[in-house]
Amino acid sequence: MALKKNVTFNGILLYRRNYRENDMLVKFFTREYGTKMFLIRRGRKPGFKMSGDILPFTYGQYEGSISDDGLSYIKEPIETHHYLNISNDIILNAYAMYLMNLIDAGLSEGEASPRWFNQLFYALKLIDQEIDPAIITNIMEIQLLTLFGVQPWLKDCVVCHRDDLPLDYSTNYGGLLCEQHWHLDPLRFNLDQRTVFYFRQFSVINLKTLNSVNVQRPTKVRLRTLLDSIYSDTVGLHLKSKRFLDEMTQI
Ligand SMILES: [Zn+2]
């Protein structure tokens, strides 16, 4: 079991769980080494010196030992921050947990992926700034599809490549169909053009430069339904945190 000692890494805390009597297991998504499980010895003891650096919804820079295939260790935090609004708001909390679970489900442990690290970092930052979390979540869900081997064709009609006619999404064709080809799939979604517009926009939007969103409620409901069926029918993913999010947002 190879252990890289005294390395510096940037991490977003994904989740933590109690381990043995006094210890804790903490999973981080690190920019440098992908997702890694860390053993925090005595992490549950009162007065543990790193308590504030391993709270839920923490991100920062740490020094520690990274294991190739076993548990990793934190030696000391260098600089840590908290997503404060997410910590204090149960709805934002539910959105953030779902996105972190989604990333965790899509990546293999130890698969370095700075691109997805940055995506998650900016998504959580925007949610923490209370930019519409439902939309930030939709954007992540659409872009994360590639992690699950699903790449819907959203550029133009998947059959004739026209993009000047009304378009609709077809699961069977794995992309958009123009009006002339709607007859090919009776089970297509029957989306309105506004929903199609956002669906296409969200697939290419850069979260790093996004600073506001304004999508009307009926469109948000349609986007939610569309993504739910893609995730359930095409990806086949049913996360507990998603069910929780659905319950929280239905109230
Ligand atoms: Zn066509």
Model pLDDT for residues 25-76, shown as the tens digit of each residue: 999 999 999 999 999 999 999 999 999 999 999 999 999 999 998 999 999 9
Q: How far is the CA of 178 from the centre of ligand 1 (A)?
A: 4
Domain count, the chain: 2
Residues 122, 164 contacting (CB under 8 angstroms): no
Residues 233, 79 contacting (CB under 8 angstroms): no
Q: Report CA Rg, the chain.
A: 20
Q: How far is the CA of 169 from the centre of ligand 1 (A)?
A: 12
Question: Which residue bears the tokens 């504030």?
Answer: 52
Q: How far is the CA of 165 from the centre of ligand 1 (A)?
A: 8
Domain holding 199, by residue range, is 92-250
Q: How far is the CA of 158 from the centre of ligand 1 (A)?
A: 7
Residues 189, 175 contacting (CB under 8 angstroms): no
Question: In the predicted model, is pLDDT for residue 1 greater than 70?
Answer: no
Beta strands per DSSP E along 98-244: 153-157, 167-170, 175-178
Give Cα 84 to chain centroid, integer Å.
18
Q: Which of 39, 61, 82 is the last residue of a domain?
A: 82
170-195 per-position pLDDT tens digit: 999 999 999 999 999 999 999 999 99
In a domain, 87, yes or no: no
**Cα dihedral across residues 215, 114, 104, 142: positive or negative:** positive
In a domain, 39, yes or no: yes
Q: Which residues pair with 58 in a beta bridge?
A: 82
The protein residues having their C-beta less than 5 angstroms from ligand 1 (an ion) are 157, 159-160, 178, 181
Token couple for 220:
């948000």
CATH number of the domain that 75 lies in?
Answer: 2.40.50.140
